[in-house]
Amino acid sequence: MDPQSHSQSPPPAAEDDPDAMPREQQQREEAPPGYVPPMSPEEVAAVEALLGYEFKDKSLVGEALTHGSFYLPYRSGDSTYERLEYLGDGVLTCLVSREVFLTYPDLPPGPLTRLRAANVDKEKLARVAVDHGIHRFLRHKAPKLEEQIADFVKELGQYEYHSNGLLDAPKVLSDIVESLIGAIYVDSKYNQEQVWQVNVFLRTVKSWLLFLTVVW
């Protein structure tokens, strides 16, 4: 008998073995706390192409696009987009504040505040997610959320720039834009200028500022 045979692992259970644990249950049982399946390299590369930014830490992409519901049926963990969204919200507010301040040197604080608010509101950022296809990479397991996003995408074409509150933009869409901003900020060693050069955010915000100049 081969002396190494005793140390070999037993063969995997056959698919038709009635006593075999279902694969999904086995994954759930074996998953360590906080585990969530990573994004594939192909998905990460596709997101990077949309953003025009290549991440040094690829795991930040998956974290920025993972909704809490995606952990099911895995054990709950902390690597959802919420912390990055919190950070990205602050970074975006700072960047847009600076942009409107420099673009409109004669405007008083009141109009500057309204301009900033118009550029970071929920519907505006949700539009960014849809216009650039970012929403297609959101990782979740919430059927109702899927319906809300589909309805928003369908109705978006009725309003060229903004619905002025007529559309109910799913908050998750604005959240993932902010979380990606946070992810780039972290990945770039907290370099705001690097964030501001990312194609999606730079092009969208500046074009919107130009539009607001016309209608102001």
CATH of the domain at 186: 1.10.1520.10
Q: Which range among 41-45, 68-72, 82-86 shows the weakest confidence by mean pLDDT?
A: 68-72
Contact at 8 Å (CB) between 75 and 36? no
In a domain, 5, yes or no: no
| C-alpha count within 13 angstroms, C-beta hemisphere, residue 86 | 3
Q: Report the C-alpha gap between 95 and 204 in whole angstroms.
A: 13
Residue 208 has what pLDDT? 52
In a domain, 6, yes or no: no
Residue 215 has what pLDDT? 38
* pTM across the whole model: 0.76
In which band, very low, low, confident or very high, does the pLDDT at 118 lie, cut at 50, 70 and 90? confident
In a domain, 8, yes or no: no
Termini Cα distance of the chain: 86
Q: Report the C-alpha gap between 114 and 187 in whole angstroms.
A: 30
Give 172-186 pLDDT, tens digit per residue: 999 999 999 999 999
Residue 3 has what pLDDT? 46
How many distinct structural domains can be found in the chain? 1
In a domain, 187, yes or no: yes
Structural domain boundaries enclosing 113: 13-215
In which band, very low, low, confident or very high, does the pLDDT at 214 lie, cut at 50, 70 and 90? very low
Q: Report the C-alpha gap between 54 and 48 in whole angstroms.
A: 5
In a domain, 48, yes or no: yes
Residue tagged 């847009």 (tokens): 96
In a domain, 130, yes or no: yes
In which band, very low, low, confident or very high, does the pLDDT at 44 lie, cut at 50, 70 and 90? very high
Mean pLDDT over all residues of the chain? 77
Q: Report the C-alpha gap between 91 and 64 in whole angstroms.
A: 15
Give 11-29 pLDDT, tens digit per residue: 444 444 545 444 444 444 5
Q: Look at residue 125 and tell me whether its pLDDT is greater than 70.
A: yes
- With pLDDT > 90 as the criterion, what percentage of the chain qualifies? 33
Q: Which range among 44-53, 114-123, 134-143, 194-203 shows the weakest confidence by mean pLDDT?
A: 194-203
In a domain, 4, yes or no: no
Q: Report the C-alpha gap between 91 and 75 in whole angstroms.
A: 31
Q: Look at residue 65 and tell me whether its pLDDT is greater than 70.
A: yes
